């Protein structure tokens, strides 16, 4: 009897989700967290999966034998044989903006529950423990995986069923030979464990990435259960959804928005000895948290040039150039990977400087350096020029790069 009807078979979809959200308790752990609810093997035996850093899913794909399995069949494909895609497969995940990243996946284990007639009737065994009849039927226990599959330590059974799960370190067939005639056989579902390699989230845009990976099911497919065990679905499609939630936060201490520029050592040398200051400056600290690329630039109330801001004397209406520099904490670099030390900011978004994290930086101190350069001092302090210069400068940290 044949239960598998190809024209009615539909592809089976399964969703795999992962999230990156910076964790201040583990700033160097820059990895996605698999948020897919486990089912099947890892749901029943979570310790096994945690130890091996794998995840599992159970999908309602059934396999039905298209004919009887003869005892001592010569070809493994006429009995119980299982091969899964254990090699790495790569797929593209796409951001809403069109940006593309790569994800890799491989199948690390496979299992199900086989069902058949009462195994004691098939084998003639009279032992009250059904395990012995199952072992006679196949010559060995199904908890012991045939090579190259590997024992997982998991098995459960009854009079007409046996649940199993095998690890699959390589992509090759794992075969069981029936020792007695089996009129029919069914696998109730498909369990599989998998391993993911996700992109470096620090280099990704915030938002959602989606992609899919399709595996064929059936004889000579990616999931190959031999020639007579036919699946209810010909295709298994993995739909991936990666969610990136970046952090970019800047905290300036209270009062830090008001910057007073002074000479080195204060104004006493000028007031008491008439020594003109070499320059006026002020360093203003800030704390930054960043898990993604960002850019910095400034906007000026008054521009002294295309790139710099201006401080104006409110009496004479004359102005002097103000330069702004930035120093960023360890972990943040320019796009060539160099540390950011006293790097000059320029006015306008078109002149923005771009920076990137090597790891999640959490509330680390940086410095804004404000300076009236030396060449401006003689003009600024010349007789007849007003004593007070002021202006507004807006420094922008922008994660939309």
Enumerate residues 6+ apart whose C-beta is below 8 A from 46. Answer: 38
Q: Dihedrals φ, ψ of 68, to 5°? A: -70, 155
Enumerate residues 6+ apart whose C-beta is below 8 A from 29. Answer: 23, 360
pLDDT of residue 270: 62
Cα separation, 25 vs 171, in Å, equals: 39
Per residue of the chain (401 residues), give pLDDT as tens: 333 444 445 789 999 999 999 988 888 888 999 999 989 888 888 887 887 777 899 999 999 999 999 999 999 999 999 999 999 999 999 999 999 999 999 999 999 999 999 999 999 999 889 999 999 999 999 999 999 999 888 889 999 999 999 999 999 999 999 999 999 999 999 999 999 999 999 989 999 999 999 999 999 999 999 999 999 999 999 999 999 999 999 999 998 889 998 887 666 666 555 667 778 889 999 999 999 999 999 999 988 777 889 998 877 778 889 999 999 999 999 999 999 999 999 999 999 999 999 999 999 999 999 999 888 877 777 766 667 889 999 999 998 76
Cα separation, 311 vs 323, in Å, equals: 10
Fold of 248-398: Immunoglobulin-like (2.60.40)
pLDDT of residue 401: 64
Whether the upstream peptide bond of residue 148 has omega within 30° of 0, thus cis, is yes
Residue spans of the domains in the chain: they are 6-244, 248-398
pLDDT of residue 1: 34
pLDDT of residue 186: 98
Cα separation, 199 vs 212, in Å, equals: 15
pLDDT of residue 277: 73
Decide: residue 83, CB within 10 A, 0-12 exposed, 13-18 middle, 19+ buried: buried
pLDDT of residue 274: 60
């Amino acid at each position: 009897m044949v239960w598998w009807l190809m024209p009615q078979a539909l592809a089976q979809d399964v969703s795999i989700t992962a999230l990156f959200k910076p964790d201040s308790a583990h700033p160097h752990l820059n990895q996605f967290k698999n948020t897919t609810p486990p089912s099947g093997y890892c749901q029943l035996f979570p310790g096994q999966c945690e130890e091996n850093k794998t995840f599992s899913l159970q999908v309602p794909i059934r396999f039905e034998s298209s004919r009887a399995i003869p005892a001592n069949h010569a070809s493994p494909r006429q009995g119980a044989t299982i091969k899964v895609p254990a090699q790495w497969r790569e797929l593209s995940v796409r951001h809403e903006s069109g940006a593309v990243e790569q994800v890799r996946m491989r199948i690390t284990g496979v299992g199900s529950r086989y069902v058949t007639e009462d195994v004691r009737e098939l084998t003639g065994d009279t032992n009250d423990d059904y395990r012995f009849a199952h072992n006679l039927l196949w010559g060995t226990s199904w908890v012991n995986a045939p090579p190259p599959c590997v024992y997982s330590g998991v098995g459960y059974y009854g009079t007409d069923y046996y649940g199993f799960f095998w690890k699959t370190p390589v992509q090759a067939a794992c075969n069981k030979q029936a020792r007695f005639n089996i009129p029919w056989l069914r696998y109730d579902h498909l369990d599989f464990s998998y391993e993911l390699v996700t992109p470096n989230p620090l280099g990704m845009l915030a938002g959602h990435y989606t992609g899919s990976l399709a595996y064929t099911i059936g004889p000579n497919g990616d999931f190959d259960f031999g020639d007579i065990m036919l699946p209810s679905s010909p295709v298994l499609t993995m739909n991936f959804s990666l969610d990136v939630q970046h952090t970019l936060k800047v905290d300036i201490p209270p009062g830090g928005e008001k910057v007073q520029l002074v000479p080195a050592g204060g104004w006493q040398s000028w007031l008491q000895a008439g020594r003109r200051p070499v320059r006026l400056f002020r360093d203003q600290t800030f704390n930054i948290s960043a898990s993604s690329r960002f850019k910095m630039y400034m906007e000026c109330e008054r521009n002294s040039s295309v790139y710099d801001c201006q401080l104006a004397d409110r009496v004479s209406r004359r102005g002097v150039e103000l330069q702004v520099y930035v120093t960023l904490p360890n972990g943040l670099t320019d796009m060539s990977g160099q540390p950011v030390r006293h790097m000059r900011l320029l006015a306008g978004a078109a002149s923005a400087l771009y920076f990137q994290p090597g790891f999640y930086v959490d509330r680390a101190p940086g410095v804004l350096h404000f300076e009236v350069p030396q060449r401006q001092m003689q003009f600024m302090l010349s007789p007849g020029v007003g004593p007070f210069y002021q202006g507004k400068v807006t420094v922008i940290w922008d994660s939309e790069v």
